[in-house]
């Protein structure tokens, strides 16, 4: 059997894996990356990027249908808008193809050898690679000094409602060949809410079933309220405090909090109850690594319990965010190259692309209270923001949380149209140890949504100007 050798071997070409490869290549570390599909992983090929493309298409179609259905204050009228779903999916796939091609080109530019195939771990320094089906390449092995595990995650499947037929995961939901007349979404987390909203805007009747008593249970309740109001306007039916029992004859069986069972008609069912680290099916158990629940346990350097084996991204647990994986991948490459690094971010921003969007970074008021920190908090509503008025998006607010004694900013939260673009500023201010005064005295461009950030800081200091 042919055996290749390298300094760094990366299993998985998602955001963490490919960024680690690029950075290792820049630092002249001999690197091989093994990926069974296209470089880019779940996020780029069947996750973050395609979902945001579908959400954008749904938003544009929704605007068109709204203008056709009622008189617009903007003076815009349309007749009989239609959507060609095949063209929409092709456009989305085109974006994915351009981005995956770009990732491949960057890896090649920096001397990273990319091998398409499926890896199976033999030991901490040896991996066997099975080429893709139809390939004439024989099975071969790769020996390495450092093994970086970046295999990502996969959708959680309900044992009593397995994927197949009308029951789909987010992967299938992002490449529909038709719009279901009736869609049932199981799970009101960010994936269920993002895709459920998009399908509703594209014409499906959507019912969301959630075991908790509110949507987006992982987010602050105040942030979820504008999203719930938007869902009500769109006509999305919410079945909260309700469990799913199974599916029979095109109907989803559910039970509410009082124990009453009922059935929901469904042409398609999107199961979005979370994701889990991809730890089975590729020999990982042979290493007998320490676990942290379903994830691999890692230290501040992303080392596993086997010193030369590293793990990053979703495989290393929450938060399962592409940008966290990227930061970890860059760090590991630098450590292997001899630099000193550790993973200790002050804040990792998270964005929910619902309607309206949600962004959080750092501590919420509740988290600060639970941590025993004396804090001050203030919010500024978009209903008092000029830019929000001009884009017809008055729902939502920006909120800041800061220490009471020295005004160091601990966290930011926002809900509103386009607030995802505030994430960078939120994280940067926390990472740099900014105080309320730093943000309040920074001149913010007018008219922008970002002015609400300054106004929230001013309000926390007791002298907001526009409310």
- Residues carrying an active site annotation: 446
- Rounded Cα distance, 321 and 326, in Å: 9
In whole angstroms, how large is the CA radius of gyration of the chain? Answer: 24
Q: How far is CA 231 from the centre of its chain?
A: 20
**What is the phi/psi pair of residue 171, to 5°?**
-60, -55
Q: Please say whether the beta carbons of 107 and 100 come within 8 A.
A: no
Cβ 207 vs Cβ 182: under 8 Å: yes
Cα–Cα distance list, 279 to 17, 296, 456 (Å): 16, 8, 43
- Residue bearing tokens 């379903």: 294
Number of C-beta neighbours around residue 167 at 10 A: 20
* Percentage helix, strand, coil for the chain under 3-state DSSP, each rounded to 5: 35, 25, 40
What is the C-alpha to C-alpha distance for residues 436 and 428, in angstroms, rounded to an integer?
A: 13
Phi, psi of 125 (to 5 degrees): -130, 10
DSSP string over 419-452 = GGGGHHHHHHHHHTT-BHHHHHTSPPPSSSTTHH
Eight-state DSSP code of residue 238 = E
Q: What is the rounded CA–CA span in Å between residue 206 and residue 181?
A: 9
Q: d(Cα 384, Cα 367) in Å, to the nearest integer? A: 27
Distance CA(174)–CA(179), nearest Å, equals 11
In angstroms, the CA 290 to CA 311 distance is 12
Please classify residue 240 by burial: count the beta carbons closer than 10 Å to its beta carbon, then call 0-12 exposed, 13-18 middle and 19+ buried.
Answer: middle
Kindly state the tokens that stand for 279. 């730890």
Angstrom distance (rounded) from CA 42 to CA 75? 41
- CB burial of 129-147 (b: ≥16 within 10 Å; e: otherwise) equals bbbeeeeeeeebebebebb
What are the structure tokens assigned to 96, written together? 């994915």
């Amino acid at each position: 059997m042919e055996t290749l050798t390298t300094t760094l071997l990366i299993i998985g070409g998602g955001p963490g894996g490919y960024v680690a490869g690029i950075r290792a290549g820049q630092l002249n570390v001999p690197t091989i990356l093994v990926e069974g599909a296209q470089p880019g992983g779940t996020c780029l090929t069947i996750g973050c990027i395609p979902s945001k493309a579908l959400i954008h298409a749904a938003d544009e179609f929704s605007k068109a249908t709204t203008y056709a259905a009622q008189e617009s204050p903007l003076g815009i009228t349309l007749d009989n808008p239609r959507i060609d779903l095949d063209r929409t999916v092709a456009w989305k796939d085109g974006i994915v193809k351009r981005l995956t091609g770009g990732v491949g080109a960057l890896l090649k530019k920096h001397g990273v050898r990319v091998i398409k195939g499926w890896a199976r771990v033999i030991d901490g320094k040896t991996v066997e690679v099975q080429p893709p089906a139809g390939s004439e390449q024989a099975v071969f092995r790769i020996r390495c000094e450092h093994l970086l595990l970046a295999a990502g995650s996969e959708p959680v499947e309900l044992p009593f409602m397995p994927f197949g037929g009308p029951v789909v995961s987010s992967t299938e939901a992002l490449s529909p060949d038709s719009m279901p007349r009736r869609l049932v979404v199981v799970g009101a987390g960010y994936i269920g809410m993002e895709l459920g909203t998009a399908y509703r805007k594209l014409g499906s009747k959507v019912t969301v079933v959630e075991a908790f008593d509110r949507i987006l249970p992982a987010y602050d309740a105040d942030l979820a309220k504008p999203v719930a109001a938007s869902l009500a306007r769109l006509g999305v039916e919410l079945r909260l405090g309700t469990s799913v029992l199974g599916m029979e004859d095109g109907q989803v069986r559910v039970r509410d909090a009082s124990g009453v069972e009922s059935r929901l008609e469904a042409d398609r069912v999107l199961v979005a109850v979370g994701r889990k680290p991809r730890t089975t099916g590729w020999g990982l158990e042979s290493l007998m690594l320490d676990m942290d629940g379903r994830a691999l346990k890692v230290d501040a350097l992303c080392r596993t319990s086997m010193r030369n084996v590293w793990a990053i991204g979703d495989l290393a647990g929450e938060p399962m965010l592409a940008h966290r994986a990227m930061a970890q991948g860059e760090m590991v490459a630098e450590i292997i190259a001899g630099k000193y690094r550790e993973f200790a971010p002050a804040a990792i921003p998270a964005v929910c692309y619902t309607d309206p969007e949600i962004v959080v970074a750092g501590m919420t008021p509740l988290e600060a209270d639970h941590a025993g920190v004396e804090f001050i908090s203030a919010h500024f509503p978009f209903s008092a923001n000029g830019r929000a008025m001009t884009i017809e998006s008055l729902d939502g607010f920006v909120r800041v949380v800061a220490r009471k004694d020295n005004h160091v900013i601990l966290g930011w939260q926002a809900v509103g149209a386009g607030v995802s673009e505030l994430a960078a500023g939120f994280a940067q201010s926390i990472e740099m140890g900014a105080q309320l005064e730093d943000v309040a005295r920074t001149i913010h461009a007018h008219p922008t949504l970002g002015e609400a950030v300054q106004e929230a800081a001013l309000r926390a200091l007791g002298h907001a100007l526009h409310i």
